[in-house]
């Protein structure tokens, strides 16, 4: 299953995750390995742009 489809089904349409903080935490906690590193790098780059 492509990443977008997995993300959409597990996080975007998950009604038990009621706000963006819950969705973000759930997403980050499901990442491992290279995906976790890529996410951490993306957040670092976003924080630097502030």
**pLDDT tens string for the chain (50 positions)?**
677 787 777 777 777 877 878 878 888 888 899 989 999 999 899 889 87
Q: What is the pLDDT of residue 1?
A: 66
* Residue among 33, 37, 44, 31 nearest 3 (CA): 31
d(CA 49, CA 33): 25
d(CA 4, CA 10): 10
Domain count, the chain: 1
Our CA angle for 40, 16, 43, nearest 5°, is 10
Q: What is the pLDDT of residue 49?
A: 85
């Amino acid at each position: 299953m492509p990443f977008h489809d997995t993300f959409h089904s597990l996080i975007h349409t998950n009604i038990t995750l009621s706000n963006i903080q819950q969705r973000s935490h759930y997403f980050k906690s499901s990442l491992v390995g290279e995906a976790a590193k890529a996410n951490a790098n993306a957040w670092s780059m976003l924080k630097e742009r502030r």
